[in-house]
């Protein structure tokens, strides 16, 4: 048995020239080029897939190799998966070539063997280099170009894979970072097999999902919760990046932005243990990317106002004019092509690689003193209570109960409120679900109220474009809407302040 440790990138066909230029600057031990044909097998009900097992036969130069890949994991963009290889003499699968204990329980191998059928194939040209790194590590670089085929359907393959053959994981990231300096590489979580299963089943893509709670246990240490939370946020990011690349979905971009904000808040929450200098570069780049996606808020406000031909503006005489002006504003926002350019840029890929490396190599540990190491080794629950108390105090400072707040007061605290709500995502599993929800919902409503106020600000810019009665009507309408929203928010704020913190005994 071997365990693959690799990074996978999606590239365009013309990336091969840049790749060869980069490889020419390294120490190449071996170089080859092969035509590879692969057939993947499963039962009609995808029983192997259901158990996260892949079965394929690869043929090259009249040689057949049968491979079984068992359940693995993708951590921070790094693929790690055990695999079993056996030489074969045909393109018909033979399960007895592998150890009997690798197959899932619930179906004997004879029955499984009889049910196997070819589902799809991958056929591609693989150019391969074995590279020696300065630290002694050896990395295999593969450039694959071809297609996945299932019946009469096909999907192109154009990928670069970096597999660690020996040495340190850090070397894998060093080489990947070098390759990505000119852009054109996008970290990929979708394997060729996953593409094939999608093609064979007619799968149209994944659904956009809100950021789920981290599965934190009271026996977890402070450090393990930190690691799990970082991996959780990064996984959510990768998942929605793939959705956006496959189809235009502003909702998916919003979830990427949520992941970034969540990870930034994690670094703040753990800032009392992990020194800021340990994450300085990562924090700087996360802030940059969050700013690059800031336009999404404006897009959402415009979408809400334009929904159903401007239904929200139906009582305004200037509705038709306003809808036209709002559409012009929306058209000036970044488009899909600009976003895809960002996702394939050197800076974006560099950030993901640096963040992944930081998580996998525990890049904060060299910055910890003995006291911090001791804190990181403690169970997480007392730490979570302390952090939630701190968050609560910040919210009380931001929304002081002793005075009324105006629109600008609320708007000024939008980012702070949003970030603080992410604190609970890491720790919520430690506490009662219902109590947490009843505490959190009013604060979430308050955040939605701020969005409603900012939606009105979008229309403020339109007042000077109107004249006479239409201008006065819009001003009155905006004033009434703002008063109504503020009244509701003040009532909600009282509920927020009076709520019992769910983490306190």
| % of the chain beyond a pLDDT of 90 | 79
Encoded tokens for 471: 């201008």
The domain limits of the chain are: 2-201, 222-498
Under the phi-then-psi rule, with left for phi > 0, alpha for psi from -120 to 50, and beta for the rest, what region is 54? beta
CA distance 4 to 144: 17
The CATH architecture of the domain made up of 2-201 is: Beta Barrel (2.40)
Write down the H helix ranges in 363-432: 370-377, 380-398, 407-412, 414-427
137 or 71, greater pLDDT: 137
Q: Using a CB cutoff of 8 Å and minimum separation of 24, what contacts does 412-419 make?
A: 413/450, 414/447, 414/450, 414/451, 414/454, 417/443, 417/446, 417/447, 417/450, 418/261, 418/447, 419/261, 419/264, 419/265, 419/268
Per-residue exposure over 271-289, b if at least 16 CB sit within 10 Å of its own CB, e if not: eebbeeebbeebbebbeeb
Where does 11-88 show beta strands of DSSP type E? Answer: 27-42, 54-60, 63-69, 73-75, 78-88
Q: Are strands 153-166 and 186-187 parallel, antiparallel or unpaired?
A: unpaired
User: Would you call 504 helix, strand, or coil by DSSP?
Assistant: coil
**Helix, coil or strand: residue 398:** helix
Q: What are the residues whose beta carbons fall under 8 Å from the beta carbon of 56, sequence distance 6 or more?
A: 38, 39, 40, 41, 66, 67, 193
pLDDT 10s digits, 246-274: 999 999 999 999 999 999 999 999 999 99
The mean pLDDT of 377-401, rounded to a whole number, is 94
- What is the predicted pLDDT for the residue at 30? 97
How far, rounded to the nearest angstrom, does the alpha carbon of residue 42 sit from its chain's CA centroid?
A: 29
Ranking 105-114, 128-137, 147-156, 171-180 by mean pLDDT, the lowest is: 105-114
In sequence order, the β-bridge partners of residue 444 are none
- Local structure of residue 404 (DSSP, 8 states): -
Q: How sure is the predictor about 3, in pLDDT bands with cuts at 50, 70 and 90? A: low
Asked whether 10 and 186 are in contact (CB, 8 A), the reply is yes
> Are 215 and 225 spatial neighbours (Cβ–Cβ below 8 Å)?
no
Domains 2-201 and 222-498 share a fold: no
pLDDT recorded at residue 309? 87
Question: Which stretch, 115-119, 287-291, 391-395, has highest mean pLDDT?
Answer: 287-291
Give the C-alpha distances (Å, rounded to integers) separating 96 from 41, 46, 86.
15, 20, 10
Is the CB of residue 179 less than 8 Å from the CB of residue 350?
no
Confidence (pLDDT) at 203: 86
Q: Which tokens in the block code for residue 175?
A: 């080489």
- Per-residue pLDDT of 303-359, as tens digits, reads 999 998 889 999 999 999 999 999 999 999 999 999 999 999 999 999 999 999 999
pTM of the model: 0.91
Please give the pLDDT value at position 77: 63
Pick the CATH number of 222-498 from 1.40.20.10, 2.60.40.10, 2.40.110.10, 3.40.390.10: 1.40.20.10
Q: Write down the pLDDT at residue 223.
A: 97
C-alpha–C-alpha distance, residues 243 and 308, integer Å: 26
Task: Retrieve residue 334's tokens.
Answer: 């970044």
**Could you report the per-residue pLDDT of 277-299, keeping only the tens digit for each?**
999 999 999 999 999 999 999 99
Query: 82, 3 in Cβ contact below 8 A?
Result: yes
Structure tokens belonging to residue 404: 């009324």
């Amino acid at each position: 048995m071997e365990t693959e440790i690799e990074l996978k990138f999606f590239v365009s066909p013309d990336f091969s020239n840049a790749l060869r230029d980069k490889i020419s600057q390294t120490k190449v031990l071996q170089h080859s080029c092969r035509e590879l044909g692969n057939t993947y097998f499963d039962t009609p009900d995808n029983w192997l897939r259901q158990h996260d097992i892949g079965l394929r036969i690869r043929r090259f130069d009249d040689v057949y190799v049968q491979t079984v890949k068992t359940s693995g994991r993708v951590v921070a963009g790094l693929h790690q998966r055990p695999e079993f290889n056996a030489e074969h003499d045909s393109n018909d699968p033979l399960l007895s070539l592998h150890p009997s204990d690798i197959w899932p329980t619930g179906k004997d191998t004879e029955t499984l063997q009889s049910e196997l059928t070819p589902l799809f194939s991958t056929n591609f040209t693989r150019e391969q280099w074995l590279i020696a790194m300065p630290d002694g590590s050896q990395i295999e670089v593969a450039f694959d170009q071809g297609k996945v085929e299932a019946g009469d359907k096909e999907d192109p393959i154009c990928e670069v894979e970096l597999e660690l053959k020996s040495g340190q994981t850090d070397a894998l990231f060093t080489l990947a970072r070098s390759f990505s300096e000119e852009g054109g590489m996008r970290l990929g979580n979708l394997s060729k097999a996953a593409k094939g299963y999608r093609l064979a089943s007619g799968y149209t893509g994944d659904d956009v999902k809100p950021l789920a709670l981290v599965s934190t246990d009271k026996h977890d240490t402070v450090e393990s919760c930190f690691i799990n939370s970082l991996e959780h946020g990064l996984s959510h990011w990768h998942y929605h990046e793939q959705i956006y690349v496959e189809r235009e979905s502003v909702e998916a971009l919003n979830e990427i932005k949520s992941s970034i904000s969540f990870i930034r808040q994690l670094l703040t929450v753990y800032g009392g243990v992990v020194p800021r200098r340990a994450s300085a570069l990562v924090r700087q780049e996360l802030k940059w990317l969050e700013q690059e996606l800031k336009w999404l808020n404006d897009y959402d406000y415009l979408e809400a106002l334009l929904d159903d031909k401007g239904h929200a503006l139906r009582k305004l005489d200037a509705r038709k004019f306003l809808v036209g002006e709002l559409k012009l504003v929306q058209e000036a926002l970044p488009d899909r092509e600009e976003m895809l350019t960002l996702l394939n840029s050197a800076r974006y890929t560099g950030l993901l690689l640096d963040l992944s490396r930081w998580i996998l190599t525990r890049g904060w540990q060299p910055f910890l003193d003995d006291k911090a190491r001791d804190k990181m080794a403690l169970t997480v629950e007392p730490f979570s209570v302390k952090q939630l108390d701190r968050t609560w105090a910040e919210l009380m400072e931001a929304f002081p109960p002793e005075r009324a707040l105006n629109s600008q007061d609320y708007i000024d605290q939008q980012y702070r409120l949003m970030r603080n709500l992410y604190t609970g995502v890491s720790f919520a599993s430690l506490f009662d679900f219902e109590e947490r929800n009843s505490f959190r919902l009013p604060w979430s409503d308050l955040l939605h109220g701020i969005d409603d106020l900012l939606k009105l600000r979008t229309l403020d810019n339109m007042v000077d474009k109107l004249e006479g009665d239409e201008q006065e009507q819009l001003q009155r309408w905006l004033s009434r809407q703002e008063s109504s929203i503020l009244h509701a928010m003040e009532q909600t704020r009282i509920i927020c302040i009076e709520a019992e913190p769910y983490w306190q005994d």
